[in-house]
Amino acid sequence: MMFRKGKNMTAEDEKTSHERESAEGTKAMVAAPHHVAADIGEKILKQGGNAVDAVIAIQFALNVVEPMMTGIGGSGFMMVYDNEKKDTKIYDGHTRAPKAAHPKMFLDENGEVIPFRERSTHATAVGVPGILKAMDEALKAHGTMKLADLIQPAIEIAEEGIEVNWVLAEALENFHYRLGQHAKDFFMPEGKALKEGDILVKKKLANTFRTLQEKGVEAFYEGEIAEAIIGALDDLDGFMTLDDLKNYRVTVDEPIWGEYRGYKIASSAPPSAGGLTVIQILKLLEKFDLKQYGPKSWEKYYLFTEAMRIAFSDKIAFNTDPEFEDMPIKGLLHDDYIKERQKLINFERRNDAVDFGNPWKYEDGEPKKVIRQPDDLEKSETTHFTVRDQWGNIAAVTSTVEHPFGSGIFVPNHGFMLNNELTDFDANPGGINEVEPEKRPVSCKSPTILFKDGEPVLTLGSPGGPTIIASVFQTIVNVIDFGMDLKDAVEEPRIFAATGPLVEWEPGISMEAKGELESRGYEFGDNPSRIGNVQAIKIDKKAGKLYGAADSSREGKAVGLE
């Protein structure tokens, strides 16, 4: 088994982390990217809470321990499977553009695209945060505990202080340039970044959470927290208003459904392109006998790469907010369209002819003009966590502030970061993902549940911007095609490709296979990188067992309850 270690580890460290990251249970299971948050999820379950209660408590805890990845200033998608109703829904708390947002907002006075680092750390990059509203809606529909009780554990760890782990220390080392002045004052006291082992106390965040305990999420969207957010943005020439916060709307959506080798798959629906693209990739792969090639073969990596390039070409061309534009969802997943796209896979070399197709011919509608975008985006970060409770309910959440530390804007006296999610819109206007007021940008978040014979058997998701899609589909293939146990499936080294020739890779992929792909026209980065951070739960109903796995690329933890 390969471990993608995030820091130098001794053999004893590795053994300890593996034990923390894997769990079995018969009653319930938690998988989260930070051990403190996982323990809080376990605590809620032991108090009699259900899966929705537990993930909400985890989300608040992650705002304390993973502030560079997620928080109340961000957004997210929560997938909920209600075992009693046999029903799956997505609580869409994705960000929306303020009313003052406009298609040319990322262009300078000469009509040129503003460089990514500049446009993504400006106050105009901040979208209206939605994760709190999504959690509140899900709690009203499914929860059993009071919001105040679910916030309390996060308040306690914020006031007691949390030890800075290598994940946060590394993020500060690599992304300190994204921090605005208030954030620098907090995370880099006296100009020096916090380091691993330092204790970080967050009393102002705890006070913000106490306000939410007392007044509910309305305080964030209409009350004193809202006023602090708008005050911070006004000081930095932002254009979000109190009305933008007050008028934010959550949607409760049906998932995108697909099938792969006899399994039904439920994943995130637009405006997230994640679920649709995961399912399209799996449909492209389904006709190939992956098992005959093996998990380290060049053929597997070739198929993965070409399927990603095909699907990402379509993702860029056809995904949008369905409240604003029609999408060819049926066409993209139509069997005849998939067969047409599979013809681009030749096993000879990288196919230079890969580009978006025309799924509209398989349903009513007209293709819209595709506007090419600058290739200047930096790798985004997010977080994913999932819970299966004693009653068989599942909640899976992918939430974010977008890029590390979001916009870099720290709300003064309130202790949380604001997102930069508007940079998920097209910078060049004219396409279906251009900026418009109240529109939601295209995302790649992919909380996913697999079903067999009507029963859930696997739930998973990952952070990582576009690489989310790669992490999710490859873990599914590792479980279904290669028969790996869950931890091995999560740890198997991954690759990622979008539309171009460059392939990102993790340490541990076959060097022989890498060389074979290079001879076939692919370009690999000089150094490997971490791709995603999968959290997953496998349900073996016949054996009465639950298996949890947390990815070793952070300090995650899986906790099983007996």
Would you say 506 and 295 are in contact if contact means Cβ atoms under 8 Å apart? no
Predicted confidence (pLDDT) at residue 4 exceeds the cutoff of 50: no
Bridge partners of 88, per DSSP, are: 81
Helices 35-46, 51-65: crossing angle, 10 deg rounding: 150
Q: Higher confidence at residue 489 or residue 12?
A: 489
- Summarised one tens digit per residue, pLDDT across range 40-60 is 999 999 999 999 999 999 999
Helix-, strand-, coil-residue percentages of the chain, each rounded to 5? 40, 20, 45
- The two counts, helices (H) then strands (E), for the chain are 20, 21
Q: What is the percent of the chain where pLDDT is above 90? A: 92
Q: Does 394 score more than 60 pLDDT?
A: yes
* Nearest in space to 233 (alpha carbons), one of 79, 356, 409: 409
User: Predicted confidence band at 157 (pLDDT cuts at 50, 70, 90)?
Assistant: very high
Contact present, 528 and 3 (Cβ < 8 Å):
no
The annotation status of 481 as a binding-site residue, yes or no, is: no
- Checking if the pLDDT of 345 tops 60, the result is yes
pLDDT for res 13 = 56
* pTM reported for the whole predicted model: 0.96
Name the nearest CA neighbour of 334 among 367, 314, 360, 305: 360
Residues 6+ apart with CB under 8 A from 94: 75, 76, 77, 130, 271, 272, 421, 440, 441, 443
List all residues 6 or more positions away from 422 whose beta carbon is below 8 Å from its beta carbon. 95, 97, 101, 105, 124, 125, 126, 127, 435, 441
What confidence tens digit (pLDDT) does each residue in 105-146 have? Answer: 999 999 999 999 999 999 999 999 999 999 999 999 999 999
Please name the amino acid found at residue 209: F
The answer to whether the annotation marks 424 as part of a ligand binding site is: yes
Residues with a catalytic annotation lie at 382
Q: d(Cα 363, Cα 268) in Å, to the nearest integer?
A: 21
Structure confidence by residue, pLDDT tens digits, 395-452 = 999 999 999 999 999 999 999 999 999 999 999 999 999 999 999 999 999 999 999 9
